[in-house]
């Protein structure tokens, strides 16, 4: 019987900070607060969203 692999893969959530149409690269952060701080340091206007890895 083939296993579903359900318990074999551990996913981690990271927060992605993206800027549209600015030429700045997206950066990954461990917490949403870290992403918010990085956004503020970069002048704001970024989009923060969770992604699973």
pLDDT, one tens digit per residue, over 6-45 is 666 678 999 999 999 888 899 999 999 999 999 999 999 9
pLDDT above 90 for 46: yes
Short-list 42, 50, 52, 37, CA closest to 19: 42
pLDDT above 60 for 1: no
DSSP code per residue over the chain: -----TTT----EEEEEE-TTS-PPPEEESSHHHHHHHHHHTTS--EEEEEE-
pLDDT above 90 for 4: no
Helix (H, G, I), strand (E, B) or coil at 47: strand
pTM higher than 0.85 for the full model? no
> Using an 8 Å Cβ cutoff, are 10 and 53 in contact?
no
Q: What confidence score (pLDDT) does residue 42 get?
A: 93
């Amino acid at each position: 019987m083939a296993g579903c692999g359900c318990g074999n893969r551990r996913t981690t959530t990271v927060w992605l900070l993206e800027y549209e149409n600015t030429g700045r690269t997206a950066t990954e952060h461990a917490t949403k607060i870290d992403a918010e701080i990085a956004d503020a340091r970069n002048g704001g206007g970024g989009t923060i969203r969770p992604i699973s890895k």
